[in-house]
Structure 1
Amino acid sequence: MDKERKLHLVRESLISYRKYISWENQKIGYDYYTKGLLHKYLSGFLFKNPMLNYFIKLIDSMVIKMIESVKQIKRTFHYAVDKDNRFLN
């Protein structure tokens, strides 16, 4: 596989990953199956550059932390408000 084709596939994978995350953020009812999602999209690629591998793992962990914090905020808000005024659920 030539270099241009590989870069094109990586770019397409990142775009589809970003679309999936933005779609999932609209319903915020997910579990931890998004863990390792970027690695799943890019599983066919072995990067010789360790910095690129580190960057991909960093993005993955940031997305997981964002999901966990949103779930925690939602849980806290749910129990801090009267039943009649719960807008998130």
Structure 2
Amino acid sequence: MEQDILKQLYFGEIVPWENRNDKTPEMAELAERIDGEIERLKGLLDSEGKALLEKLLDDASDLECKTICEGFKDGFRLGAQITAASMEGLKKP
């Protein structure tokens, strides 16, 4: 039997970040293309340019993480609102 979701939540067993499905063929191809372009760009840059590129990539990664987290929170809130709205008709007088 599947474990109670509240128990899983309490014990920190629910980790949505680990369940991301970003391994679609399209995304893998895009990631590979981006990696290749970054390596080509690094080959064109001096050491100062490479350091700036690394900073830019780190900042872009941080922004992506924050954006994904905010999207998750928005989706969770929407799900809670939908659940609450669906329970409205179940209230006993």
TM above 0.5: no
**Which of these two proteins has the greater Rg computed from alpha carbons?**
2
More helix by share: 2
**TM-score in terms of structure 1 length:** 0.42
**TM-score in terms of structure 2 length:** 0.41
RCO higher in 1 or 2 (8 Å CA, sep ≥ 6)? 1
